[in-house]
Structure 1
Amino acid sequence: MMASVALTDDGDGLELWVAGKRRLTDRTGGSSTSTGLRFAFYGRTSTVRHQDRTTSQGWQREAAELLVAGRGTIVGSFFDAGCSRRVQWKGRRQAARLLDLVADGGVDAIVVGEYERAFSGTQFQSMYGWFARHGVQVWLPETDGPVDLGDPDHRALLSLLGAQSQREVLRARHRVLAAMHNQAAQQGRYLGGRPPYGYRLVDAGRHPNQDQAHWGRRLQQLAPDPVTAPHVVWMFAERLAGRSRSRIARELNARGVPCPSKVDPGRNRHRTGGAWTLRTVAVILANPRYTGRQVWGRRPTTPDSSRSPAVSRDLAHPALVSEEDFLAAQQVRSARTAQDGAIRRYALAGLVRCGVCARRMDSHWVHDRPGYRCRHGHSSARQPATGRPKTIYLREDHLIDRIAAHFGDLDDHDARDHARARVVAAELRATGAIVVCDSEGVTRVSECGFSSYGGRAPKTNASLK
């Protein structure tokens, strides 16, 4: 004769059968009565894109319930989703609400499902005193109950857990960044983000990771946008012709060419302007991905990051400009047109800095010759500040003379020889050097190699006096 199990409305019969007919004293992990401590549960998940919030919250809550079973009841639940463990509790939305509840005396203890989900580094030690002052215990599965920092074993354990949590973050970051660097350099893979103006995203085939491919993820790559790519080609051509970036921006606005925020508003929700600006043009002209190479990591991910940018060995997508033209465009210094239509050229534009205030000196045409000046931050739109240093004026030919004479191989040239000025300027730019000047003239050249000057390279910050 078959034994039968009666099923109740809440499924107790099936649960008893699965559990081997052993009824748990409390299926929820809390006390069957209202006696004991009042617990507040706290949990966290760092992402919502790659982690299921319901699953993550469920297993953390279950671990907390098993810990406090028979000792009290969880009366409140606080769960932060999409929040890094490195964020302090006051900066987390749900954790901040929990702190307010503790301050109001609404709970007796806090319980978490896993230390790393709640704390990182020395966060626990810095908050333990605050919890203790409010008479609130902190329960961890790792200590099998409330934490007592007066216990040397608990102090050692908490130090170890904090270091382990910090190490986990650093190790994960290092692995991810190293993998992305390799994918960009060795495979030329597109790693996400907004496509540059002039490109659109197209399908690049099956994802090489089998698990990712099983879930339907596919690779993407950049392809020229038939609408915007011609504008990028035109911008580089204009720059190579010597046009200024501001002039290019004015021409684009005059022709009614839509700017990036208008072309792709969905990916540019942070942009409010509807017109081309000098900055927008400058960013496009300085983006090396228009050469067809995949470039990643141009901006450091951390303040102390020393990892060099990744540039793909091979072309990863169709180029809109050749590498030669791109590099040439970076060296263009636009000629200035005077009111009489004459073009004024400054060989050392952007290379001269003031030794008094450290500002870059302005190109300044005076007495029919190029020169440079520094007004130390003053402009004609406001009154001169009291005690402001005297404006410095320097002639370009005098600067060229001092630099060339210092290296000894060009001082036999005519001081008005424009070819010599171009050679000196080219050497400064090639070595990443700057000329520092004061009212007396050139004082030093900083971070300079000058390898082509007779093989005699001056040291960094070489004095020119």
Structure 2
Amino acid sequence: MTSSAEHDPWAALDALWGRGTAKPVDATVDATAFYGRCSTEDNQDPQTSRGWQLGNARRFIEPRGGTIVAEYFDVGESRSVPWHRRPAAAQLLLDLKDRGRGWTAVVVGEGTRCWFGNQFSLTAPRLAAYGVDLWVPELGGRYEARNPSHAMLMSLLGGMSESERRHVQLRVRAAMDAQVRNEGRHQGGRAPYGYVVVDGGVHPHPRKAAEGLHLRVLQLDPEAAVVVARIFAEYLESHTDREIASALNRDGIPCPSARCPAQNRHRPCDGWQASTVRAILENPRYTGYAVFGRWTKHDVLLDPDDVAAGHAVRFRRAAPGDAVRSERPAHPGIVSVADFTQVQLLRRAKARGGSMIERAARRTVHQYRFRGLIRCALCGRKMESSINGGRIYYRCRARTLPTRARPADHPATVYLREDAVVQRVGPWIAANQLAGAAGLPGSGQREATAGAADAYRALGLGLQFDPNSATLTGVIASQSVGRVEPAAATRRTWTNVP
């Protein structure tokens, strides 16, 4: 009788290599890191959300021998934000490089909460590159990059997550529009100057009423309402925005941020500005009708050439016809509908006539890298963008300040060249490995800079310029971009800045 090796000369070697033996469907799990995410936009309780996601993850891996030894949980971060811009997720990606991290796998409680759109295809390869397994409950086991079914399912989950978010946004907006149109309901937010928010009675929703929630309505602030009426009256008498602001400052009338600093913490109490007057004159809620949707959220790409850098949420003024108005008065009015309409007609006429003070919305020709990011160290105000002789500047004009709020050592006008800022801030960010994280443009003079301000803002960049000492100070407050040494790269000062 001949041996099997004589029939198959490879039998002994195949047995040695384990060729043809059945492989386990699922590998066992060892020390594991948990990742989860909770958004507070839908009034979710972070503790409850973390609890059920962590519970799902444990029930998933513990029967396979896994133990969760590290937790990464983001609170208040939208799923549309890429992993490298979420604080906990960025820290997880940073810890991948640490050989002593103490875990060899990552498990999530629910895939649709962790990934959005194509984010999974950008995250999974990084985990695999460092030898870290990824366990996803929706897959029923470990993610296998070479399994086409796994890749297809995770792609579908990303699309479902994106679709779910957009459907929720549309449903919530439709419900709020209906409440304003039919009931004149105040949808929250800061009260317009001239009004205060007061208790409006028990909430009509049974569950919210049982929880003790009440409606909020607008009520007149008598002293401020008189100022609003004066602004409209003076404008109808052919005064400009700047003339009205100057008159209010001369008369010592507190500006909106000074009258109610609690709801205007983001604004300095630096007196009336032409822009403040313009905002009042263009607000239709002073007629007594509820108006909602004048500003809308938009997802703006940080870098159009690098979609993986993600989006930043920005508010933009909606088209006048897109705003929703109540069918009947919802709160006491300060001006009549006829007077408000006459003001809008005058403003449009001045815009067509080429007025430099009241002008229609126009397409921005120049892109300013540091728009809204530079403050004057003397008065604390944001320096406005301007262009002169083909060169971009940031300026602060003391003459727009009320006399009592004007520092004695403040020059009449402060100018700061943008190229001088770029030459200092650009290399600083690049040296600390920040530019790649947010898709910032290079430091050249004439390349496209669209989205640069949003990218800098996502990094938490803030700049302050002292014209008397020619000193520029930069601070990076964000900790969510995965810097290698964030504590050592958050502040920098430059001297002799032109």
Is the TM value for this pair above 0.5?
yes
Matched, 1:88 2:87: no
Range 72-81 or range 296-305, more displaced: 296-305
1:45 is aligned to 38
Structure-1 separation of matches of 2:145 and 2:225? 63
Equivalent of residue 55 in structure 2, options 43, 62, 65 = 62
Work out which structure has the larger RCO, using CA pairs closer than 8 Å and 6 or more positions apart in sequence: 2
Matched, 1:158 2:193: no
1:127 is aligned to 123
Structure-1 separation of matches of 2:215 and 2:80? 31
Equivalent of residue 314 in structure 1, options 328, 335, 339 = 328
- On the 8 A contact 1:333/1:349 being kept in 2, the answer is no
Say if 1:328 and 1:124 are closer, same or farther in 2 by CA, change over 3 A. same
- On the 8 A contact 2:32/2:104 being kept in 1, the answer is yes
Q: If you compute each CA radius of gyration, which structure gives the higher value, 1 or 2?
A: 1
Structure-2 separation of matches of 1:213 and 1:272? 38
Q: Could you tell me how far 1:156 is from its partner in structure 2?
A: 2.3
Please give the secondary structure, in 2, of the residue aligned with 1:184.
Answer: helix
Matched, 1:348 2:353: yes
1:279 is aligned to 275
- Can you list the C-alpha shifts for 1:171-229, whole angstroms capped at 9, x where unaligned? 10000011111111121110011000000112222211111111111111111101211
1:247 is aligned to 243
1:76 is aligned to 70
2:340 is aligned to 326
Say if 1:293 and 1:358 are closer, same or farther in 2 by CA, change over 3 A. closer
1:172 is aligned to 168
Structure-2 separation of matches of 1:42 and 1:318? 50
Structure-2 separation of matches of 1:72 and 1:347? 70
Structure-2 separation of matches of 1:58 and 1:136? 24
Please give the secondary structure, in 2, of the residue aligned with 1:41.
Answer: strand
Q: Could you tell me how far 1:68 is from its partner in structure 2?
A: 1.2
Q: Could you tell me how far 1:358 is from its partner in structure 2?
A: 10
Matched, 1:201 2:197: yes
TM-score, structure 1 normalization: 0.64
> What letter matches 1:39 in structure 2?
T
Matched, 1:224 2:220: yes
- On the 8 A contact 2:29/2:105 being kept in 1, the answer is no
Structure-2 separation of matches of 1:153 and 1:384? 56
Structure-2 separation of matches of 1:212 and 1:56? 20
Say if 1:191 and 1:358 are closer, same or farther in 2 by CA, change over 3 A. closer
What percentage of residue pairs aligned between the two structures are identical? Answer: 41
Q: Could you tell me how far 1:131 is from its partner in structure 2?
A: 1.1
Range 170-179 or range 144-153, more displaced: 144-153
Structure-1 separation of matches of 2:60 and 2:335? 63
2:98 is aligned to 104
TM-score, structure 2 normalization: 0.60
Say if 1:238 and 1:129 are closer, same or farther in 2 by CA, change over 3 A. same
Please give the secondary structure, in 2, of the residue aligned with 1:204.
Answer: strand
Equivalent of residue 254 in structure 2, options 233, 245, 258 = 258
1:191 is aligned to 187
Say if 1:174 and 1:382 are closer, same or farther in 2 by CA, change over 3 A. closer
Say if 1:347 and 1:288 are closer, same or farther in 2 by CA, change over 3 A. closer
Aligned length: 319
Q: Could you tell me how far 1:294 is from its partner in structure 2?
A: 0.6
> What letter matches 2:353 in structure 1?
L
Please give the secondary structure, in 2, of the residue aligned with 1:302.
Answer: strand
- Can you list the C-alpha shifts for 1:223-270, whole angstroms capped at 9, x where unaligned? 110121111011111111111111111111111111110111111111
Say if 1:84 and 1:247 are closer, same or farther in 2 by CA, change over 3 A. same
Structure-2 separation of matches of 1:264 and 1:97? 39
Unpaired stretches in structure 2, ≥5 consecutive residues = 1-27, 301-317, 366-385, 392-498
Q: Could you tell me how far 1:152 is from its partner in structure 2?
A: 2.1
Q: Could you tell me how far 1:120 is from its partner in structure 2?
A: 1.1
Q: Could you tell me how far 1:51 is from its partner in structure 2?
A: 1.6
Please give the secondary structure, in 1, of the residue aligned with 2:187.
Answer: coil
Please give the secondary structure, in 2, of the residue aligned with 1:180.
Answer: helix
Q: Could you tell me how far 1:122 is from its partner in structure 2?
A: 1.3
- Can you list the C-alpha shifts for 1:412-435, whole angstroms capped at 9, x where unaligned? xxxxxxxxxxxxxxxxxxxxxxxx
Summarize the alignment of residues 437-452 of structure 1 with structure 2, pairs less than 5 Å apart. none
Q: Could you tell me how far 1:126 is from its partner in structure 2?
A: 1.7
> What letter matches 1:99 in structure 2?
L
- Can you list the C-alpha shifts for 1:270-300, whole angstroms capped at 9, x where unaligned? 1024200000011011100000111111123
Structure-2 separation of matches of 1:45 and 1:302? 21
Structure-2 separation of matches of 1:194 and 1:263? 13
Say if 1:263 and 1:49 are closer, same or farther in 2 by CA, change over 3 A. farther
1:444 is aligned to none
Structure-1 separation of matches of 2:155 and 2:341? 52
- On the 8 A contact 2:120/2:155 being kept in 1, the answer is no
- On the 8 A contact 1:201/1:223 being kept in 2, the answer is yes
Unpaired stretches in structure 1, ≥5 consecutive residues = 1-34, 336-344, 360-378, 386-465
Please give the secondary structure, in 2, of the residue aligned with 1:138.
Answer: strand
Say if 1:135 and 1:199 are closer, same or farther in 2 by CA, change over 3 A. same
Equivalent of residue 230 in structure 2, options 208, 229, 234 = 234
> What letter matches 1:173 in structure 2?
Q
Range 167-176 or range 151-160, more displaced: 151-160
Please give the secondary structure, in 2, of the residue aligned with 1:332.
Answer: helix
Please give the secondary structure, in 1, of the residue aligned with 2:77.
Answer: coil
